[in-house]
């Protein structure tokens, strides 16, 4: 208890936990003796793209255990503070726990120091957490996040990718992670427009997710019968906003209407 009052270390919550209650840190858990297989639920596809004055992140709602769909409505895009969010792909449980710790990490710094971390600082902090998970990743508990933030210093959205060893790798314009990312990236490449409005960029992301679900069995498309829609986060100077389901439903419906006549979706002009 006394550490609470006498701790003089850095403003990092994770560092403090390391001293005060190391058992709470996910990275300290003992690595499993045997490699875990893909029977543990896996989160699949996340896409992100910058837009005029911000950034959009979208994630499908499926989690799979091998060939089984283990959850239809999992949420994989997390608000981490007022101006940033992260999406997770890979082992769902590890990813969710990491997102929870990361949120506290950012808030803890903000409250103790009286200012927010710089966008690079946030991205670096996440890299350290991924690297801490490396022993677990070697045993099959891989988690790879995607980080997106509005940077007040440049008044623009920024996207950072990672690998199992950490990172960060700043991405230009758009990026996708997870099992369907190859298809999503192909779709983004053709549909992305620089400085498009947030609304248009949301449509681009929805199409990219649809294309990923079209070709990747582990990515879930919009579930019209159960009314399960992708999670969409829009971050601008006004802060983080998760699009309400009703709004997403409307956009998805108009996309589906178009796909009824043109199943492959919108095409990019040749010239």
Partner 1 sequence: MSMPFGYASPEQIMRDRAEYARKGIARGRSVVVMQYADGILFVAPNPSKALHKISEIYDRIGFAAVGRYNEFESLRLAGIRYADINGYTFNRSDVTGRGLANLYAQQLGMIFTESIKSLEVEIVVAEVGDSPAEDQIYRLTFDGSVFDEQGMAVIGGQAEAVGGRLKERYRDNLPLPEALDAALAALTEPGGERPPAAQLEVAVLDRGREHRKFQRLTGPRLERLLEAAPPGGTPEGAAPAEEPEGEAPTGPPTGPDGDIDTGSAE
DSSP character at residue 243? P
**Which listed residue (30, 67, 114, 257) binds partner 1 by CB under 8 A?**
114
Closest distance of CB 240 from partner 1, Å: 9
CA triplet 234, 102, 37: central angle to 5 degrees? 100
Closest distance of CB 114 from partner 1, Å: 6
Biggest CA pair distance of the chain: 68
How many Å apart are CA 51 and CA 157, to the nearest integer? 7
Question: What count of Cα atoms within 13 Å lies in the side-chain half-sphere of residue 127?
Answer: 14
Question: Is 44 a catalytic site residue?
Answer: yes
Strands 54-59 and 46-51: antiparallel
Closest distance of CB 238 from partner 1, Å: 13
Overall size of the chain counted in residues: 271
Stretch that binds partner 1, among 55-63, 105-113, 135-143, 158-166 (CB under 8 A): 105-113
**Which listed residue (52, 101, 164, 249) binds partner 1 by CB under 8 A?**
101
**Which listed residue (73, 107, 163, 245) binds partner 1 by CB under 8 A?**
107
Closest distance of CB 248 from partner 1, Å: 18
Site string for partner 1, 8-37 (x = CB under 8 A): -----x--xx--xx--x-------------
Nearer to partner 1, 16 or 150 (CB): 16
Nearer to partner 1, 86 or 188 (CB): 86
Give all strands (DSSP E) within 52-116, no chain letters: 54-59, 63-65, 68-71, 77-81, 84-91
How many Å apart are CA 251 and CA 118, to the nearest integer? 33
**Which listed residue (100, 189, 226, 227) binds partner 1 by CB under 8 A?**
100
Closest distance of CB 179 from partner 1, Å: 30
Active-site residue, from 44, 45, 50, 64: 44
Total residues at the site for partner 1 (CB under 8 A)? 19
Nearer to partner 1, 3 or 253 (CB): 3
Three-state DSSP state, 86: strand
Nearer to partner 1, 9 or 32 (CB): 9
Q: Cβ(232)–Cβ(84) under 8 Å?
A: no
Q: What's the Cα-to-Cα distance from 82 to each of 78, 85, 111, rounded to whole Å?
A: 11, 8, 13
Nearer to partner 1, 24 or 69 (CB): 24
SS3 content of the chain, % helix, strand, coil (to 5): 40, 25, 35
With binding defined as CB under 8 A, does residue 247 bind partner 1? no
Burial class (CB in 10 A: 0-12, 13-18, 19+), 34: exposed
Chain positions contacting partner 1, by CB under 8 A: 3-5, 7, 13, 16-17, 20-21, 24, 79, 100-101, 104, 107-108, 111-112, 114
Catalytic positions, written as ranges: 44
């Amino acid at each position: 208890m006394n550490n609470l009052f006498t701790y003089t270390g850095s403003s990092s919550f994770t560092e403090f936990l390391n001293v005060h209650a190391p058992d709470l840190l996910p990275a300290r858990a003992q690595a499993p003796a045997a490699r875990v297989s893909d029977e543990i639920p896996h989160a699949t596809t996340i896409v992100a793209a910058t837009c005029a004055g911000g950034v959009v992140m979208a994630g499908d709602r499926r989690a799979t255990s091998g060939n089984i769909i283990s959850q239809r409505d999992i949420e994989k895009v997390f608000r981490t503070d007022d101006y940033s969010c992260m999406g997770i792909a890979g082992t769902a449980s590890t990813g969710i726990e990491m997102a929870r710790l990361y949120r506290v990490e950012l808030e803890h710094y903000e409250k103790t120091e009286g200012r927010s971390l710089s966008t690079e600082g946030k991205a670096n902090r996440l890299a350290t957490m991924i690297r801490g998970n490396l022993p677990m990743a070697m045993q099959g508990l891989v988690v790879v996040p995607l980080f997106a933030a509005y940077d007040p210093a440049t008044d623009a959205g920024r996207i950072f990718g990672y690998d199992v060893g950490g990172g960060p790798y700043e991405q230009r314009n758009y990026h996708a992670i997870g099992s369907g990312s190859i298809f999503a990236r192909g779709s983004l490449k053709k549909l992305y427009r620089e400085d498009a409005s947030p609304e248009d960029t949301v449509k681009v992301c929805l199409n990219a997710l649809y294309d990923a679900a079209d070709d990747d069995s582990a990515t879930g498309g919009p579930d019209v019968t159960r009314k399960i829609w992708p999670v969409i986060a829009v971050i601008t100077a006004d802060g983080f906003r998760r699009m309400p389901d009703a709004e997403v439903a409307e956009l998805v419906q108009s996309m589906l209407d178009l796909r009824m006549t043109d199943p492959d979706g919108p095409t990019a002009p040749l010239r």
